[in-house]
Amino acid sequence: MSLTITCPICGKRNGYEFRFGGEDKGPRPDEDSLTPQRWCEYVHLNECVAGVQKEWWVHKDGCGSWFTIHRDTVMNVEVAKPEADR
């Protein structure tokens, strides 16, 4: 088991119980001034950080909840929330 993920309901579990939900891109862009270009970028473009990034995961084989974690994409391990995001 290479990756473990901490579900807020069930606790630390085998990574195979979860499904990746993509990078956390923050809130939806404001719709008043939204252009097709801006929406396309929000939906399709990713940062693909080599390091710690905030991600969405769903506990598909467990409680079914959606939540965010911070994961080091180089080491493929869950890490604590970085000081800068607190």
Partner 1 sequence: MVEIKRYSPVAFKVSPKRVEVRDNWTVVLEYDGEGQGANYLVDLSHITRFDVQSSNLDAIKPFGVTIPQGLCESNLQDGLLINRMNGIQASIFCLSGKKPEMPSESSYTETTEVGMCMAIFGKNVFSITEKLTSLDFMDPAKKTPFLYQGPMSHIPCQIITLSRDGEKCGIIFTASRGYGKDMTHAIMDAGAEFGVKPAGEDKFKSWLGSL
What are the helix (H) ranges across 1-86?
36-44
How many residues touch partner 1 (CB under 8 A)? 14
Give me the count of residues in the chain.
Answer: 86
For partner 1, the closer CB: 65 or 76 = 65
Residue 61 binds partner 1, judged by CB under 8 A: yes
3-state secondary structure of 21: strand
Q: How far is the C-alpha of 86 from the C-alpha of 82, rounded, in Å?
A: 7
Burial label for 12, CB within 10 Å (0-12, 13-18, 19+), is exposed
Give the contact letters, 8-27, x = binds to partner 1 (CB under 8 A), - = no.
Answer: -xxx-xx--x----------
Residues 63, 67, 72, 73: which binds partner 1 (CB under 8 A)? 63
Residue 6 binds partner 1, judged by CB under 8 A: no
For partner 1, the closer CB: 42 or 67 = 67
Residue 62 binds partner 1, judged by CB under 8 A: yes
